[in-house]
Amino acid sequence: MLITLPITELVPGMYVDSVTKQHEGVNGIKIKTSGLVREKSIIKRLATEGVLELLIDFTKGDVAIPAKYKPTSKSPVKNKNLASTKLSDQTKAKPAKDKSKLVNTPASITLEQEFAAASEGYERHSKKLKSLYGDITAGMAVNVKVLDEIAGEIVSSVFRNTNAMTILTRVKDKHNYNWRHMINCAIFTAVFAKYLGYKQGVVQQLAMGALLHDLGQAKIPQGILSKPSKLTDIEMSAVKKHVSQGLILAKEEEGVTPLMLDMIVNHHERLDGSGYPRGVSDQKLSRAARIMAIVDVYDAMTADKLYKEGDEPINALRYLLASNKLFDAELVQRFIKCLGVHPVGSIVKLTNERLAIVLEGNTQNPIKPKVKLFYNAKHNHHVTPKDIDLSTDNQELKILASVKPMDYQINLSRLLKDHLLV
């Protein structure tokens, strides 16, 4: 289990995963190494170098988790009034014409200003969810407090700048699909719910539901989940049990609302009744469940897995659009307008044989986003970056196609850091 501790609570025998907060120490050294704390002198040195807070991995150390940090079966959430809000009050809300009356929006900042915090947060969330996933597999209760904190940070970032967290979902990692899928779904759900006009408190509940929706998979044999070939009927039956397992894990936890349970139970249901586990049809599926179904499939199709490379976003969007008997057509249309035909973080080829990364969508004209040109695809070399708004009247450049970064030996993670870190 990963737990953040202040330096004052660090003791020999604990394993430091990373330093999460540090001001400049006497020697100005940035502490980045991880490892087992064997002596008090190490703690003294860390304090001298300005370390204030650390992420401790209790699965690797020799010290038990302090009692006050052990998760209980009843974990509170920050906003308790959300837990008692009726499901119908949230899922049936319609976007208001004057969104300023509906959405509690912090001051917006630029993508470049938000990217560093979003990037650091994404990796921190991934580590915490990996630990939480392992804890559940080992039989521990769901740490709702951790999930609530992650959901809150994701939603806050999305409300400051919609694109910073979204762009990070394009960075692939086939070895960590399970928990990255949880984060990505929370991000897409938050972005989409904000676009639809929901208040920030409700957006956080939806993001929390997205974090919880597949948690039951921690109880399914991982060999089945990562199997490259077609599953047998018995294996598929086992996979489908992740829904009921997720419900069992979450339903008794304080702070898990009816909205979240609805998303867990119904994210694999389809409008025509062909889904599982109950085979219910459109009349019994809430708006929250419909949103979750769309987001879940979109990220599952575009993410890399151990046995399969992720598809391009445009192909996933085409599938959702063509499957109007399975998914809410009106919501799919709005999801496409929200993300764009080429979502932020996509690498696209332009009519001048240059590659560009999409930095900002265009809800009025989704095929004409704002991009940053950075690569000559004809001669295979990087060029001086240039920001281009494809929607301007005098702009003749157009997008020819979406391309895979690895086709041009482009490291997307490095590219984002090179161009977005300020």
Q: What is the pLDDT of residues 274-307, one digit of tens each?
A: 999 999 998 899 999 999 999 999 999 999 988 8
pLDDT digits (tens, 9 = 90+) for 324-355: 999 999 999 999 999 999 999 999 999 999 99
Do 244 and 367 fall within a single domain? Answer: no
Q: How much is the pLDDT for 30?
A: 59
Residues 258 and 125 in one domain: yes
148 and 199 share a domain? yes
* Residue 244 clears pLDDT 90, i.e. is over it: yes
- Per-residue tokens: 110: 């630029």
pLDDT recorded at residue 308 = 87
> Which pLDDT score, from 0 to 100, does residue 413 have?
87
Q: Tell me what percent of the residues of the chain surpass a pLDDT of 90.
A: 60
Residues 328 and 380 both lie in one domain: no
| Residue 1 pLDDT | 63
- 91 domain residue, yes or no: no
DSSP 215-262: GGGGGS-HHHHT-SSPPPHHHHHHHHTHHHHHHHHHTTSTT--HHHHH
CATH classification at residue 48: 3.90.105
Question: Is 326 found in the same domain as 399?
Answer: no
CB burial class (10 A; 0-12, 13-18, 19+) of residue 254?
middle
> Are residues 130 and 218 located together in one domain of the fold?
yes
Residue 102 lies in a domain: no
- Range with lowest mean pLDDT among 40-49, 52-61, 107-116, 326-335: 52-61
Q: What is the mean pLDDT of the chain?
A: 86
pLDDT of residue 24: 62
Quick one: pLDDT at residue 25?
55
CATH number at residue 251: 1.10.3210.10
Q: pLDDT value at position 258? A: 92
- Do 129 and 232 share a domain, yes or no? yes
Q: What is the pLDDT of residue 17?
A: 76
> What pLDDT score was predicted for residue 27?
55
Cα separation, 105 vs 199, whole angstroms: 9
pLDDT at 32: 59
- Specify whether 334 is located in the same domain as 351: no
Residues 375 and 313 reside in one and the same domain: no
Q: What confidence tier does 107 reach under pLDDT thresholds 50, 70, 90?
A: very low
Average pLDDT on 362-369 reads 87
- 410 occurs within a structural domain: yes
> What average pLDDT does this structure show over 5-28?
79
Its pTM stands at 0.75
Domain that holds residue 33: 2-68
Do both 52 and 160 map to the same domain?
Answer: no
Residues 235 and 373 in one domain: no
**Residue where a domain terminates, one of 68, 97, 119:** 68
Query: For residue 81, what pLDDT is reported?
Result: 37
Residue 103 lies in a domain: no
Pair 93, 99: CB distance under 8 Å: no
Residue 81 lies in a domain: no
Alpha carbon 275 to chain centroid, angstroms: 24
| DSSP code at position 7 | G
Question: Strand, helix or coil at 350?
Answer: strand
Boundary-marking domain end, from 304, 323, 339:
339
Q: Residue 177 falls within a domain, yes or no?
A: yes
In a domain, 50, yes or no: yes
Report the percentage of the chain scoring pLDDT > 70. 87
- Closest to 387 measured CA to CA, from 340, 338, 354, 353: 354
Residues 6 or more apart in contact with residue 348 via CB below 8 angstroms: 342, 355, 356, 357, 358, 371, 399, 400, 401, 402, 403
Q: Is residue 90 part of a domain?
A: no
pLDDT digits (tens, 9 = 90+) for 59-80: 777 788 887 776 554 444 444 3
Decide which of 308, 339, 370 is a domain's last residue: 339
Cα separations in angstroms, 34 against 25, 55, 122: 18, 10, 19
Total domains present in the chain: 3
pLDDT at residue 150 is higher than 90: yes
Q: Are residues 375 and 245 in the same domain?
A: no
Identify the three-state secondary structure at position 180.
helix
- Collapsing DSSP to helix, strand or coil, 9 comes out as helix
